[in-house]
Amino acid sequence: MERLRRLLRGEQAALVLALLLLCAVLSALTPVFLSAANLKNVLRDASLIAIAGIGMVVVILAGEIDLSAGSSQAVVGILAVLLLNESGSLLLALLGALGAGLLIGLGNGLLVTRAGINSLIATLGSMAILRGGAMVGTQAVSIQGQVEGFTEVGTGHWGPLPIPVVIAALLFLLFYLVLHHTPAGRYLYAVGGNAQAARLAGLPVEKLKLAAFALSGVLAALSAFILASRLNSGQPNAGLGFELQVIAAVVLGGVSLSGGLGTLVGAGLGILILTVLNNGLVLLDVSSFYHDIARGTVIILAVYLDTRRRQARGRV
Amino acid sequence: MKKLTVFLLIAVLAGLGCGRGGDSGKLKVGYVVNYMSHEWYQNICTAARQRAAELGVDLVIADANLDVAAQISKAENLIAQGVKVLVLTPVDAKALDALVRQAKEAGLYVITESNPVPGSDTYVGINNKESGKKAGRWYAEYAKSNQIEPQILIIGLPNFEDCRLRVEGFKEALAESGIVYTIAQEVDGQGLKEKAFKVAQDALTAHPEVNAIFGINDDSTTGGMAAYQAAGLDQTKLTAIGFGLEGIVGQTALLGHTPYKAVLAMFPNFVGLSLVEAAVALGKGEALPPHYETPTIVLTPENFTTYYRQEGNGYVMNFDAIRRLLPAR
């Protein structure tokens, strides 16, 4: 009983309740919602946002933001499919994709830490450059994958679970441990909470921020690779608005945009709530015109309730 | 000194004037496309440039990138540059009245592509509703002859009137055909493969009985097909009907022995060519009908080669065959 009470008072209680309530309403309205096939869909969709979302959480915790995650879905997806078609090797395509993501992330990180450009502006710029690059490189024509087995990454299963879900779960576990049980994780919170104090305490603030951007780039690239596999193509229009979806989901999960505050578990719950909401609206055949309204309302409501809760506990 | 200054000023102004009008009497046409980052418009622009070169037309193309304010400002720049014919693919047809009026007051001819705008001389494009009906009639016939009871998933783009009309036409033709069918669900794929895949995936979970997918463009239909495959449903039972055949994506699906059995071909390159031909006709003072219609037809792997011929690794349109689809203007 005491444990339950503690859980209900805990950081993520409101989010867990919101998610459960949403699931209960949807399962009452449509029996399909709780079917295994649909739950797999929800998890598969959530996994793409989650993989990029881990990187976004790390960057936001460090007190920065990365808007290039959506455009890198396009550039990395195209590069991966081109490499795949040229070499026939899935591994080479994956390494190429991750390498490209690393370069994008390092580029963003250097713009912020070395050139001193605000991360909102720096990544807004790289977002536009990457999208433009995808258009120039393909002349707006998608590149079709021509290698048998490529789609398996995005649509196949390991045991009963879709492959992207397993990848996302493993990454979540890994980064949960890194963020909450290693010095590096604590340093990241310190940097995001108060960069000046962290610097005075001798923490390598710039290096940590650079690493956060690099990680965000690599994880966004992994998500792009899986998306390209699901679609068996590199799409120059892929990931339009994806960065905002990811940011909205992690903020909904209680990660503070001012840095240094929030958890990976909360972000995961935020991602699940938004994915379940999107899924439910389609299952219920609600006109797409209402989808954005519903999403926006949920985000504002959740963040408002969260802020109230934190204020009540004297944390803001 | 004062006289010299005035003389020089007049000379410079005269020079500018000569520069503006003195480019060998070529017809100057300005085109503000709404969204160059789409294969459809890429193909329109490529063909328009090609036809302009053939007909000796000076064609300038600008991209509004889905921003109606940018479309207006770019069109105003073209008017200031002295184009004789202004061509617009409206980002939002309802926002262009004033621009069209301004262009007409400046003595220009105005052509719109895909949507009519009041006051323009003509609009060039397909008849969306009738084309949707052609696709619907084809599928009704196909379902009848293959004894299919259709359970249809429609992947639309309801924000755009053109796309709404395609769906309306498709549904009307099905209703008129007398076959027994069910529209299992209509979803918004936003015209993008990625989004179409996601919504189709959810819709197919709710309606695994779906055995037909109609999409308002190539990406919508192929996104739906990918979701059908990912859901592990029996692809031999699926009939996908596309709309557009905008480029390589649709051609690959149609000719690749996939469930993509038919597509309403819109011939984007022919639209581009028609834009320039309409501009030339207006430039000569010819009167054009309010709707300068470009042809459409349902293509299957069987009749594809009548309208496209292979060139290298790709296909090019057979303009003569397409032209024969046109009613006499």
Tally: H helices and E strands in chain A: 14, 4
CA atoms within 13 A on the CB side of B122: 23
Task: Give the pLDDT band (50/70/90) at residue B173.
Answer: very high
- A34-58 average pLDDT score: 93
**The Cα angle at residue A208 between residues A207 and A212, in degrees rounded to 5:** 115
Does the beta-carbon distance from B248 to A30 stay under 8 Å? Answer: no
Does the beta-carbon distance from A285 to B193 stay under 8 Å? Answer: no
- A102-125 average pLDDT score: 97
Of B188, B197, B252, the CB nearest to A230: B197
CATH of region B26-126+268-294: 3.40.50.2300
Does the beta-carbon distance from A231 to B193 stay under 8 Å? Answer: yes
Q: In what order do the strands lie in the sheet with B182-188?
A: B182-188, B151-156, B212-215, B239-244, B260-265, B297-299
Which residue out of B61, B202, B255 would a mutagenesis test of the A interface target, given it has the greatest number of A Cβ atoms within 10 Å?
Answer: B202
B7 has pLDDT over 60? no
Q: With contact defined as beta carbons under 8 Å apart, do A97 and A76 qualify?
A: yes
Chain A closest-CA separation from residue B7 CA (Å):
48
* Interface membership of A47 toward B (CB under 8 Å): no
Residues of chain A with pLDDT > 70, as a percent, come to 93
pLDDT tens digits for range B117-140: 989 999 999 999 999 999 999 999
Assigned CATH topology for domain B128-265: Rossmann fold (3.40.50)
DSSP A62: T
Coil, strand or helix at A226: helix
- Residue B86 is which amino acid? L
Does the beta-carbon distance from A282 to B206 stay under 8 Å? Answer: yes
In angstroms, rounded to a whole number, what is the distance separating the alpha carbons of residues A105 and A128? 15
* Interface membership of A39 toward B (CB under 8 Å): no
pLDDT tens digits for range B12-39: 444 444 433 345 679 999 999 998 878 8
Which chain A residue has the Cα nearest residue B220?
A231
Does the beta-carbon distance from A37 to B192 stay under 8 Å? Answer: no
**The Cα angle at residue B32 between residues B29 and B37, in degrees rounded to 5:** 130
Does the beta-carbon distance from A289 to B158 stay under 8 Å? Answer: yes
**Mean of pLDDT over chain A:** 90
Which residue out of A41, A48, A75, A278 would a mutagenesis test of the B interface target, given it has the greatest number of B Cβ atoms within 10 Å?
Answer: A41
Domain range list for chain B: 26-126+268-294, 128-265
Of A233, A236, A282, the CB nearest to B202: A282
A5 has pLDDT over 50? yes
pLDDT tens digits for range B186-213: 999 999 999 999 999 999 999 999 999 9
According to DSSP, the residues that pair with A28 across neighbouring strands are none
CA atoms within 13 A on the CB side of A142: 30
For residue A139, list chain B residues with Cβ-Cβ distance below 8 A. Answer: 42
Q: What interface predicted TM-score (ipTM) does this complex get?
A: 0.70
For residue A142, list chain B residues with Cβ-Cβ distance below 8 A. Answer: 39, 193, 219, 248-249
- B261-289 average pLDDT score: 95
User: What is the residue whose two structure tokens read 């003569």?
Assistant: B320
Q: Which of A206, A218, A232 is nearest to A153 (CA)?
A: A232
pLDDT computed for residue B45 by the predictor: 94
> How is residue A137 written in tokens?
């490189």
Q: Which of the residue ranges A272-281, B43-52, B90-99 would you say has the lowest mean pLDDT?
A: B90-99
In angstroms, rounded to a whole number, what is the distance separating the alpha carbons of residues A149 and A23? 34
Coil, strand or helix at A88: coil
Question: Which regions of A109-252 does DSSP assign to beta strands (E)?
Answer: 143-144, 157-158, 161-162, 233-234
Which residue out of B198, B251, B252 would a mutagenesis test of the A interface target, given it has the greatest number of A Cβ atoms within 10 Å?
Answer: B198
pLDDT computed for residue B18 by the predictor: 40
Tell if the pTM clears 0.80, that is, is over it: no
**The Cα angle at residue B46 between residues A70 and A227, in degrees rounded to 5:** 25
Q: Which of B299, B321, B308, B215 is nearest to B254 (CA)?
A: B299
For residue A291, list chain B residues with Cβ-Cβ distance below 8 A. Answer: 188
Which chain B residue has the Cα nearest residue A131?
B37
A200 has pLDDT over 80? yes
3-state secondary structure chain B: CHHHHHHHHHHHHHHHHHHHHCCCCCEEEEEEECCCCCHHHHHHHHHHHHHHHHHCEEEEEEECCCCHHHHHHHHHHHHHCCCCEEEECCCCHHHCHHHHHHHHHCCCEEEEECCCCCCCCEEEECCHHHHHHHHHHHHHHHHHHCCCCCEEEEEECCCCHHHHHHHHHHHHHHHHHCCCCEEEEEEECCCCHHHHHHHHHHHHHHCCCCCEEEECCHHHHHHHHHHHHHCCCCHHHCEEEEEECCCHHHHHHHHCCCCEEEEEECCHHHHHHHHHHHHHHHHCCCCCCCEEECCCEEECCCCHHHHEEEECCEEEECHHHHHHCCCCC
Highest mean pLDDT (candidates A147-161, A211-225, B149-163, B190-204): A211-225
- Residue A259 is which amino acid? G
Does the beta-carbon distance from A140 to B37 stay under 8 Å? Answer: yes
Coil, strand or helix at A97: helix
- A5-13 average pLDDT score: 64
* Interface membership of A241 toward B (CB under 8 Å): no
B272 has pLDDT over 90? yes
Q: With contact defined as beta carbons under 8 Å apart, do A205 and A87 qualify?
A: no
Residue B76, burial from CB neighbour count under 10 angstroms (0-12, 13-18, 19+): middle
- B284-296 average pLDDT score: 93
B2 has pLDDT over 70? no
Q: With contact defined as beta carbons under 8 Å apart, do A153 and B260 qualify?
A: no
pLDDT tens digits for range A118-175: 999 999 999 999 999 998 888 878 888 989 889 899 988 999 999 999 999 999 999 9
Chain B closest-CA separation from residue A165 CA (Å):
14
Task: Give the pLDDT band (50/70/90) at residue A258.
Answer: confident
pLDDT tens digits for range B51-69: 999 999 999 999 988 788 8
Which residue out of A288, A293, A295 would a mutagenesis test of the B interface target, given it has the greatest number of B Cβ atoms within 10 Å?
Answer: A288
DSSP A10: S
For residue B208, list chain A residues with Cβ-Cβ distance below 8 A. Answer: 37
**The Cα angle at residue B131 between residues B130 and B133, in degrees rounded to 5:** 65
- B79-104 average pLDDT score: 89
Instruction: List, as ranges, residues 211-230 from A with C-beta within 8 Å of B.
Output: 227, 230
- A39-51 average pLDDT score: 93
Specify the CATH number for A12-311; select among 1.25.40, 3.10.350, 1.10.3470, 1.10.10: 1.10.3470
